[in-house]
Amino acid sequence: MAEEKAYWEGKHFAFFTNKECEYYPCHPVKEGEEFNCLFCYCPLYMLGRDCGGNFTYLENGVKDCSKCLVPHRRNNYGYIASRFQSIVEEMSRREGKGD
């Protein structure tokens, strides 16, 4: 029995590369490596330590994601989309509308 693909795999809405962007690539990537620009500004940033990415905090407290490729890998569209509920919950908590 063949493994069923996720609904988004192979779809154009889940991946695109903007090689004409002034900042492309905005993170160091290996030559020939696919780079997804869909989540140019990572929606997981606001989850802080719970984003699941490769980040550090600078001495001034700013979250540094310059070495993180989580939102830029083709296969991570599903991971990002699966975290939207966490983003909604965090936004609600920050606005004082949480439990």
Q: What digits encode the pLDDT tens for the residues 34-90? A: 999 999 999 999 999 999 999 999 999 999 999 999 999 999 999 999 999 999 999
Does residue 68 lie within any of the structural domains?
yes
Does residue 6 lie within any of the structural domains?
no
Does residue 99 lie within any of the structural domains?
no
Distance CA 38, CA 53 (A): 16
Does residue 2 lie within any of the structural domains?
no
Does residue 33 lie within any of the structural domains?
yes
The whole-number pLDDT of residue 40 equals: 92
Does residue 83 lie within any of the structural domains?
yes
The whole-number pLDDT of residue 29 equals: 84
Q: Is the per-residue pLDDT at 1 higher than 70? A: no
Tell me how many domains the chain contains.
1
Could you tell me the pTM of the whole model? 0.80
Q: Which domain range does residue 29 map to?
A: 12-94
Can you point out the beta strands (E) in 7-91? 56-57, 63-64
